[in-house]
Structures are given as structure tokens and as C-alpha cells.
Structure 1
């Protein structure tokens, strides 16, 4: 028999096989869409994308059934795509709601540009706006047409698979996160299914080679399983991808969010070094980028005020500090390693910034530095000179928090401010006699054991925002992160008639072994992006406070008579442990090397919740049990078929048991020879094996009127008993593997993996 008689390539696939390929292609496209759900909020766009994929693939399949040319099939799919997109997104400008007009063509670029702007400026998860929905649905429709042509017309499933995988990686590249194991496994399985379905449609094996071809699915599945395992095991060992400046969507790269939408940045698992800094100050200062003063009840707006060219001799201007207030001058050097921002992180209050490249301006109002032409901070290295006021406790107590020389909106409050905010401020500050003590009371309250730092609680409780309602709910739940503490502190201060604002910047970072000019270099990572409040004091300036529980040190000042370095009671503002007007230390609550600093405020560490760990363990056990459950279901199905008269099912039960315990089941061995080997080498009962061999031979070779011979439950019982004997004779390790990882789920009798290695070994 020639090789050509074994297989043949069909010039035209059967409708059934082509339909299987269409289903496989749809599954691959839908699994490629899953990663998008991690960066875009689910909505009507998801249904639209799925429905459009189904419509396009269905139309293409029907066209091929009509034997239409490939160009006609693609043209029909393209017309369907345009009609659906026009009807859904541009019906008001279309002819008959589905035919594009010149006006429609003018709107498309505008909507596309709007979608890209939302991607560039937004933070994940993005809201599913009409522009973004149009972009996703339209892109999925176009991708469907392309891969449909590549797979079903050009017959290149590998090329289509590469394209589908590349599309699925785009969300992960745009927003680096931990590996979504389930989505990865589903995508891998769908790609293997697609390749297998298309490949199988090319060949038609004859019955004599059915046993040989039965090993192909096992080979494909084995390769796929190995690829999945290797990817999941090897990926965590590789260096984490760092999104360099300019590499993000739209070229923006890592940047500072001045709209207080910090939650997604702080929750991002792949943190990276944003900058490095070293200073001659007693402790590393906070590095501010900009301030937010105007509040409309929903959003804090960053300050857009007068700027002065940085190289201008007037620069930041003079500091409005009373002569009797002691000031100290410090130098801080900053090296930006991975931050694309129009603001330069600098220490406060800056009086000079030197060494920056490009066009930059000083902002006298908040003593920050902003780019004049959109120049990025990436790669900048500069020196900041700061003059820090050091009032004594008596001096700051004697001064009021006033708006003298400041903007009126530092005291502005929305008309619909929840009354609970002002009520809480009055309750906490009752008994204080001056503004400073009242603010310290607020600070101490936030840092007490009543509050808990959490990145997840605001999301779970539904107040992950910056508005007045979110602040009110935060004060009720008493769990959140820096923006909630800072916004609550600033609003409560304003209800007490004290001018306040919020600062966006970075915590001081973590010390490294490196030194420059005998100064310790600190690394500031992306997770240290922070928000904190400031209050303006007459004759002193803006004083920073640190209400965020577990971060930094509470702001405090020493009495004039106190010895330098003396320690006092942190609960008594008259004997505070710090001489700095700004928080002097930081601890990232997500960094195990920097535990939360709760000792100073008496807060206690909560008990560990065992439920997440228990859930993970139960999930792992459930996954491990899947093969055993699947094997048991298959065994019961075979036995049910055997009791209904299917001798082949009874014989398959014995073959599966042999494969599970490592006994070879080669295609070259007859049932009678295989049964003799089981009886002599593996302790199976010869009588039961003879019954099984007789039944399978009768079913295989007897005439049709005899092949249907009814054997009752005897053959099924014999198969069950022989299976138990085979498994019982195997070593304990083999018996365990037969239950936990049954090979018969992947390896079929007569295939390469069930080959005659054992028979050859016995012959030698």
C-alpha cells in the first residue's frame, strides 16, 4: 500500500470540519479579549465585541458553504463590520442608520483620537466610554476578518495564532500586572484547539492507521501542557518588565497623577525605581511635585498659577518667615531614573534649583518647578536648595493658621459638604486652645488604632475617590490610603477656619548602601507616590502634616527649653519627639523591609485573616483533584456502556488501567497476546481475561448478526475485577500516580506514549 493511500489532503473541507475550525477561532478570539477586562470596565462593549465576532465568523462560514470566492467572503465580512459599527455608533449621521456618509467619515477620526486620549491620560480600569467602546469593538471586528482569512482561506493557523497572542498581550504591556493564570491557560488551550482543528481538517486517516493517529492529540496536549507549565514557572523568575518613560500608551510612560487618582498606581504590583536622592539634611525630605487647593466637592484641582522662568534672578522669591523663626538651609540632589512628568520632585521650601536641562519655570505660590514646553523630567539630575523654618513649640502655638497672602480658595468648602465632616472635626479638637494643638489632635486621631491603612477597603466599600462623599464614608469606615487621609484632614481643617491644601509628591524612600559625598543615597520607588496635607501659619508658611496611618512620622516641634534630641510623650503636643515641620521618615506599607510605624501612635496590628490562605489551599486541592475526578467519570461511562453490551468499552477499561500504572499497550499486540502478558506479568485472572478477549474478538470479527451477542453484566464485572488486579499489583508510587495523574486521560492505547517499551524490555 502506498503512502498516498494512507492520507489525503482535501481540496475542500467538509462543512462539519470547517464549522469546528470556526468555533475554535471564535474561542481563541474571545480568550484574547479577556485581558482587556483588566484595564477597561466591563460594559456593553463586551457584548458588542462578542456579538460582532459571532456575526462575522457566521457570515463567512455561510458564504463558504455557498462556494463563494475568498475575496467575496472577505468583502461580505467587511460590509457587515461597517454596517454594524455604523448602526451602533454613528446612526445619527448615517444613511438608513447603517450606511456611512461623508459626515460619518469625519466623526470617525475624532472618536478615535478621543479614545486614544482616554487611554493615554486615564488610569486602569478605564471607564467604558463610547469612544473607547468604538475602538475596542471596531478593532475586534477587524481582527476577526483578518484571522478568518488567514486561517480558513490561507490555511495558516500558526500565523493567526501569533497575531491573536500579540493582541492579548497589549493590555499587559500597557498596564503591567501579575500573570492572569486562568486567562493564560484558556488562551493556550484555545490556540492549541485551533491549530489541532485546522490541521486535522487537512488529512483523512484510514481505519488501519487510526491507532497510530490517536497519539496526535496526546502529543499536542502534552506539548501545550509543557508550554503552559514552563511559562507559569519561568515567568516569575525573569526580571520584571519596567515601563520606561515614553514606552507607555501614547508615549507618556510612568508619570505623576495630579488628580489624586493614586489608587491604581499604588496597587500596581510591578513597582519600579522612580528616582534616587541624597541630602545633607538630618533626614531625607519629602519631594513635592505640585499642590491642589481648589475643591468643588467632587475633585481637587492642581494649582494653575503664575510662573517665573527658573533661570530668572527673582526665581521663587523671598520666604515670608518672621525674623525670630530659626531657619536651616539644606541641599538635596535628585536623579530621576524612571519618571516622565512635567513637574520636578523637589524638597520644600525651595529657594533655588540648579542643573536641570530644558525650559522649566518656578511656581512661587507653592515653590514647585513645572515644565514650560512639556519637557519631561526623565533623566534629569539637579540640586535643590531649601530653607526650612524651625519654629519652637511656643512660637507655632502663638501663631494662627491664616490666609494672609494666600488665595481665598484655601478655605473654600462646597455647599453640600456632609455635616459629618465638620462634626468629626469639632469632636476631635474639643479642648484644644490653639490652631496648632487642634491640628495635632487631628493628626493623632487619624494615626490612632481607630484607623487602618488599606488600598483595598475603598474599592470594596465603594468610596475609592476624592470627593466630599468619599471623605465622609472614609471617616465612617476608617480605612483607606493617603488620598483619603489627606483629603479628610484638609477638609476638616477648613471647617475649623484653617487654610489648607493637598500636596502630591513622594515619600523619602529607602536608604541604599551607595553614598555620594558621604551622603546616603535613597531609592524612591513608584509605590511611594504620596499625598499629604499642609496648613498655612502666619509668619511661618505652609506646615506639612502626616495623618496617614502607618506612614512617616507625625509632625511636631520641640519646646524652646528642651534639650536637643530629647524625647517626649507623642500623645502630648507640648513634648513632641521631632523638630521637623515636615514628616521625617517614611515606611511603605507594601514593603516588607519597611514595616508600618504604628508604635508612635499606639495602634495595634490586626490579626491575620486565614480565609485567603485557606481559599488558596482549597483552590489548589480542587485543581489537583480534577484529573482524578475526570478519570473516574470516564471509567464509570465505560462501565455503563459495557453493561449495555459494548464489549469495546469493557476492553478499554482494562487498557486505561494498564496505561495508568505504566504497562505498555502497543498497537502491534493483539488482545489475546496482551491478555496473556497481563496474566503472566501483572497477576490478572486468566479466566476473566479470557472472557474479555472472547467478547472483544466476537465484537471485532464476528458477522453482524453474531457481533451483537448479549453478554450481560459478566464482561463489565470482569473488566472491573481485572482493573483492580492490575492496579493492585503495581508499586505503591504507581498506584498513587494512577489516581492523582492518570495518564490515560492524555495517552490513548496504541499511541506512541503507550508504546511497546515494556514489551521490548521483557523480550530482552
Structure 2
């Protein structure tokens, strides 16, 4: 039977004239979900940075936890995440130093913390201590963009002479060469570093004496109860050497020898992770570990035979993208798997000199390379070439963290794939409410047409349909009042009640 003229009707769907509340909510939710997913992909976790990337109040690598152990935990993360990218005028892609561990308790390495000196602004940084004019020096310019690192230690090629473009207050430390900020972080920073590339000759290093300043003599300290294996091994390895330089070279060659292998997992599984004297003693027996163990072993053995030593922590040079050269300078991408530790030994007249004892990571500095050494160019010692900087001749054999190839075949496709997956995920999330609504509407209409649904369900479908089309449903309205308001909307009045149309009833 036909309903009376004033009875409410269920109308067929009409074209939406604009976004309603449902679509607005979906849009806002979609943007929030997309932002969260993109941030989770793009921003890497970093030791000591906390969930929100907040740097610790003391050392970068944790609140009272050994920075060496935290470095290992980060290297063992299965997925590498971008940290920064840079361009440099240096012919050898530089290591980027974050901090220097110059205090050794016997159990842990740490960094001496000094109050910030407001006079030590980064626009003019003093020459490194102990450097004589006779050492060959070239100036380099490196432009760095931080992609996903929040810390109060600034990654820089060292030694730096000036830094421009930083936001906030940053100061240099004359003792260990680090750049720190009391209140600001590296997050989102873009800056330019003018640094020095030191090129001491072998003769200059061999001619270095043992007259160390008092500040350097602190870097000779070792616990009295150090395991005897450390000093005994150092003496055996350096037997027959006449100078501190030759002894240091012998230590580096020994640790890079075939007896040792690179492995990030073995020390943690066997319970000898870290850089303390007991760990070093075990490492010299087991002969497997990663950069933490190789750098600690060389530094501790160097101290045991009277050579001041400390450990630098930072990043290897990263990966060169062959397709991104601008004016002859390529772009290097650094990720969390490029984290690295290497020892620095002190030579009077030259200062702190880096070495590379870790096999399969980094490259030998030029002043430690023999004429017949066949090392892949790049890193601290080689010239930048088409091969990945920081990787030696056969890294894949022992180094699970070493990745060959350029950023074009490793970083960029992975990044694009991640973005595609994020986009697909966001679209799927946005479609879920709509799919649910369509299915609910189909089920309701089927029940209504079959006579199995009552007036309440039919009314719920009508109000849901109105909300979908941006028509508010007021809780205070009766069904008759709501139907009358629908009829008053342009395009929604039933035939015969639209303005300018005949009623269709007999005159």
C-alpha cells in the first residue's frame, strides 16, 4: 500500500556534493597514519637516543651503559637506517667522528666531559694539539645533512677548523676534538665543515719521540690487575721493532691477519662483548669480534707498551652514489650499519693519528700501507673511487655488515620500495571503513527487501546514508521532521514536490 503524502520515504542515493564528516575523519586519520608510518621508516633508532630520539644527558650511547656494548647492539640491528648524507671535496672520503673515548677504567671506555667553554665557538676551531708545521696538511670542505640522528655529539670529519650553518649553540673541545651542544641536537641539521687532512710521512712518525704532555700521559693508564695475556701478546707482536710507529704498525697488521675474523654475533653469544681488559684478553684468545674488540685490543696493547691510545667512535665514509655527482663531488650516504670504532695513537709532532685494525671494515690509512698492499681504495687511507668506500678487498667473506655496490643499487631502490609499501598501507587503511560501510549497507538492504528487518534498521540505514552524503542527523529530530528537512534540500525533494515541476496529481 502506498504511504500517505506526509509519510517519510527512503530515497535512492544521490551524488555527493562535498566531503562529509566520515570522509573528513578518514582524511585526517589517513594523514596521521601516513605520517607515523613514514617516520617509523625514515628515522633510525640510535643507541642512547631513547624512543623519541632524545639524547642522553651524558654520553651519546646510553645512561651509564658502556658505549661499546651499545654500538654493538646497533650494528646487530637487521635493517640499516639512514643517518646522514654529505658531499666533500676530499680526495679520500672521510670517517665522521662523533666522540672520543679517552678514559679507560679497565671495564669501560668513556669520554672525559668538560664544561662547555662559550669562547670555543665552532666558527673558529684551534689546530689539533701537537701538530707541527712540517706535517703536510690539506684543507677540505664537507657539506653534511642529517637525515635521522638526534644527538648532542656532532658527526664531523676530523680535525675540524670551522663549522657553519648549525642551528643552536655548539662548542669544540680542545682535548678530544669533539663538537658538542649543551641544549641542542643534531636533528635536522645542515652544516658545512672545513677540516684538515693530515698526511704525515713514515719518517715523521718514526722520528716521533716519547716526550708526551701531561694531558696525553693520561692515555697510558691501565689497571694494575690487567690480564697478563694483553701485555705478553703486545710484546710478542712488536718484538724487533725500534720505534713506536713500527710497533703500532705491527699491532695493526697482527689484528688484521688471517688468525682473526669479523663477527658481530659471536662476542654477544659467548658473553665477552664490550671493551674492558677482561674482554680484550678473551678476544685475543678467541680471535673473533667486531670493531669494538679490534679497536679496544689495539688501544689497550698500545698502552701496555708505552704508546698513548684512545678510541674514536663515529661512522665509516658510507656509500658513494655514482649518479649524484655535482661539480665533481659525489654524494655519500651513511646509515646505521656504518657505525664504527677505531683507535687513535699519539705521536709527538703529529698528534692523534687514526689506525684501522678491523678486518673487513674501513681501509688502511696511507701512512700504514706497504707498497705492495692491495687494499680497495676509499676510507681513511684510500682514494675515493667507484668501489664502496670503507670496504677492503674481500669484506663479504668475514663481514656481515659490509655491503658492496653503490647507493643506486642499495639505498635508493630500498627507499622507493619502502615508500610504495607505506602508500599501499595507507590506501588500504583508508579503504577499510568504506568497505565495511558498503558491506553493512548491502546486508541491511537485503534484510529490508526480504522483510526481515524492522523499521529501526531501515531508519538506521537512512541516517547512515545521510551522514555519508554530508547531511547531519540531529538527535532531537523526529523521523517526520527529518524527512521534511530532506525534502527541503535542493535535489532531494520527491517528484511533484520540486520547485517548478507539476505535482503529477489530477487538476
TM range (shorter): 0.5 to 0.7
The SS at the match of 1:490 is helix
In the other structure, the counterpart of 1:241 is: 41
Does 1:353 find its partner at 2:163? yes
User: 1:596 & 1:347 partners in 2: Cα distance?
Assistant: 18
Change (3 A) 1:254 1:276: farther
Instruction: Say whether the 8 Å CA contact 2:121–2:170 is kept in structure 1.
Output: no
C-alpha distance after superposition, 1:264-311 (max 9, x if no partner): 100101211100011111111000011011111111111213543377
Instruction: Say whether the 8 Å CA contact 1:279–1:333 is kept in structure 2.
Output: yes
How do 1:145-184 residues align onto structure 2 when only pairs under 5 Å count?
Answer: none
The SS at the match of 2:94 is coil
C-alpha distance after superposition, 1:236-282 (max 9, x if no partner): xx998344689975522699527212111001012111000111111
Change (3 A) 1:478 1:248: closer
Change (3 A) 1:402 1:473: farther
Instruction: Say whether the 8 Å CA contact 1:316–1:363 is kept in structure 2.
Output: no
C-alpha distance after superposition, 1:353-382 (max 9, x if no partner): 111001111111122210121x11011011
In the other structure, the counterpart of 1:379 is: 188
Change (3 A) 1:274 1:595: closer
User: 1:336 & 1:267 partners in 2: Cα distance?
Assistant: 22
User: 1:596 & 1:291 partners in 2: Cα distance?
Assistant: 23
Per-residue deviation, 1:491: 0.3
Change (3 A) 1:521 1:370: same
Per-residue deviation, 1:332: 1.2
User: 1:457 & 1:486 partners in 2: Cα distance?
Assistant: 16
In the other structure, the counterpart of 2:52 is: 251
Change (3 A) 1:558 1:263: closer
Q: Whose Rg is larger?
A: 1
Does 1:597 find its partner at 2:392? yes
User: 1:514 & 1:378 partners in 2: Cα distance?
Assistant: 24
Change (3 A) 1:486 1:464: same
Change (3 A) 1:239 1:303: closer
TM-score between the two structures when normalised by the length of structure 2: 0.63
2:371 maps to which of 568, 576, 588: 568
C-alpha distance after superposition, 1:173-203 (max 9, x if no partner): xxx9xxxxxxxxxxxxxxxxxxxxxxxxxxx
Per-residue deviation, 1:442: 0.7
Per-residue deviation, 1:569: 2.1
How do 1:441-480 residues align onto structure 2 when only pairs under 5 Å count?
Answer: 441-480=250-289
User: 2:378 & 2:306 partners in 1: Cα distance?
Assistant: 26
The SS at the match of 1:597 is coil
Q: RMSD of the alignment, in Å?
A: 3.6
User: 1:363 & 1:271 partners in 2: Cα distance?
Assistant: 30
Question: After the TM superposition, which parts of structure 1 deviate over 6 Å for at least 4 consecutive aligned residues?
Answer: 245-248, 576-580, 592-595
The SS at the match of 2:300 is helix
User: 1:579 & 1:551 partners in 2: Cα distance?
Assistant: 11
Instruction: Say whether the 8 Å CA contact 1:341–1:378 is kept in structure 2.
Output: yes
User: 1:289 & 1:351 partners in 2: Cα distance?
Assistant: 15
Per-residue deviation, 1:583: 3.9
Per-residue deviation, 1:446: 0.8
The SS at the match of 1:263 is helix
Change (3 A) 1:537 1:241: same
Instruction: Say whether the 8 Å CA contact 1:289–1:346 is kept in structure 2.
Output: yes
User: 1:307 & 1:386 partners in 2: Cα distance?
Assistant: 21
User: 2:55 & 2:338 partners in 1: Cα distance?
Assistant: 13
Per-residue deviation, 1:421: 0.4
User: 2:194 & 2:122 partners in 1: Cα distance?
Assistant: 15
Change (3 A) 1:558 1:548: closer
User: 2:378 & 2:82 partners in 1: Cα distance?
Assistant: 29
Which of the pair is proportionally richer in strand?
Answer: 2
The SS at the match of 1:474 is helix
Change (3 A) 1:402 1:273: farther
TM-score between the two structures when normalised by the length of structure 1: 0.43
In the other structure, the counterpart of 1:755 is: none
Q: State the number of aligned residues.
A: 353
Change (3 A) 1:470 1:496: same
Change (3 A) 1:431 1:522: same
Unaligned runs of 5+ in 1: 1-175, 177-237, 560-566, 609-764
User: 1:282 & 1:594 partners in 2: Cα distance?
Assistant: 11
User: 2:155 & 2:122 partners in 1: Cα distance?
Assistant: 21
How do 1:321-336 residues align onto structure 2 when only pairs under 5 Å count?
Answer: 321-336=131-146
2:320 maps to which of 505, 511, 517: 511
User: 2:383 & 2:266 partners in 1: Cα distance?
Assistant: 25
The SS at the match of 1:343 is coil
The SS at the match of 2:61 is coil
Which of the pair is proportionally richer in helix?
Answer: 1
Per-residue deviation, 1:415: 1.5
Does 1:528 find its partner at 2:332? no
Instruction: Say whether the 8 Å CA contact 2:318–2:388 is kept in structure 1.
Output: no
Change (3 A) 1:470 1:262: same
In the other structure, the counterpart of 2:223 is: 414
Per-residue deviation, 1:546: 0.4
User: 1:491 & 1:288 partners in 2: Cα distance?
Assistant: 20
Per-residue deviation, 1:454: 0.1
User: 2:217 & 2:348 partners in 1: Cα distance?
Assistant: 15
User: 2:247 & 2:273 partners in 1: Cα distance?
Assistant: 27
User: 1:397 & 1:292 partners in 2: Cα distance?
Assistant: 25
User: 2:286 & 2:235 partners in 1: Cα distance?
Assistant: 19
User: 2:40 & 2:148 partners in 1: Cα distance?
Assistant: 14
User: 2:390 & 2:367 partners in 1: Cα distance?
Assistant: 25
Instruction: Say whether the 8 Å CA contact 2:362–2:390 is kept in structure 1.
Output: no
The SS at the match of 1:414 is coil
Change (3 A) 1:333 1:596: closer
Change (3 A) 1:585 1:405: farther
Unaligned runs of 5+ in 2: 1-36, 401-507
Does 1:295 find its partner at 2:99? no
In the other structure, the counterpart of 2:504 is: none
Does 1:391 find its partner at 2:217? no
Instruction: Say whether the 8 Å CA contact 1:508–1:586 is kept in structure 2.
Output: no
Per-residue deviation, 1:460: 2.2
Considering Cα pairs closer than 8 Å and 6+ residues apart, tell me whether 1 or 2 has the greater RCO. 2
Instruction: Say whether the 8 Å CA contact 1:549–1:598 is kept in structure 2.
Output: no
In the other structure, the counterpart of 1:342 is: 152
Change (3 A) 1:267 1:535: same
In the other structure, the counterpart of 1:493 is: 302
User: 1:586 & 1:428 partners in 2: Cα distance?
Assistant: 32
User: 1:492 & 1:363 partners in 2: Cα distance?
Assistant: 26
User: 1:532 & 1:474 partners in 2: Cα distance?
Assistant: 16
